[in-house]
Amino acid sequence: MGMMSVPLYTPIDPATTAAKAYPAFELGRNASLVLRERVWLIQTGIIEINLVDSDGNLCFIGLGTAGMAVCGSPDLCYEIQALSPSRLLSFTAAEVHASAHLPRLICEGQQYRQYYSDLLLKAGHYPTAVQRLYEVLVVLGQMIGVSTPAGVRLPVRFTHAQLSRYTGITRVTVTRLLHHLRQQQRLWWGRDRHLILLGQDSCCPKNRG
């Protein structure tokens, strides 16, 4: 997958007066939160974002990390799950419009999130299941990966069920393909079960220019 320029953003520092002026929500790992009719800015952590349909079913639409924004509305209901300890700031639409800096932060945060949602969507349309799975993992590496001597380590221990939902591949097939990719020496995992994308260190966030 070709690299694209990543939108620039400037997240609010939790220590600033601006951050202290707005409600903050702390989520432990695996905690969930329904987002309605407010604007949310992810301050720290990694979250999974789902749309809730009229029947209460969840539809995966992407992941979020620091600097990304989610805008709730009366017509759209989001449910998020924290994949790591996370902190979100919450604003009303009036607070955003009245602020000198929030409109830019929220706009860039939405663009930043949409950028990776589009990459995940593109990765999910590769013709073969193994390509689909690997390209989704590469996008996750670009988004949240941590550089190691071996390659890019995913800091979240994704379950096979999660990867199944992210790719549209059955859980059983995900398990088989992960072993196939390991045999091809394209990825690795150790005792902690965190995936490492071998030879992919250039896609890590901190290595992007």
Query: Which residue ranges form the domains of the chain, and what is each CATH number?
Result: 17-118 (2.60.120.10), 124-207 (1.10.10.10)
What is the model's pTM? 0.84
Q: Check if the beta carbon of residue 187 is closer than 8 Å to that of residue 140.
A: no
Q: pLDDT tens, position by position, for the chain (209 residues)?
A: 444 445 544 555 555 545 557 888 999 999 999 988 889 999 999 999 999 988 888 999 999 999 999 988 878 889 999 999 999 999 998 999 998 888 999 999 999 999 999 999 999 899 999 999 999 999 999 999 999 988 999 999 999 999 999 999 999 999 999 999 999 999 999 778 899 999 866 555 554 44
Fill in the amino acid letter for 133.
L
Euclidean distance between CA atoms 40 and 89, whole angstroms: 6
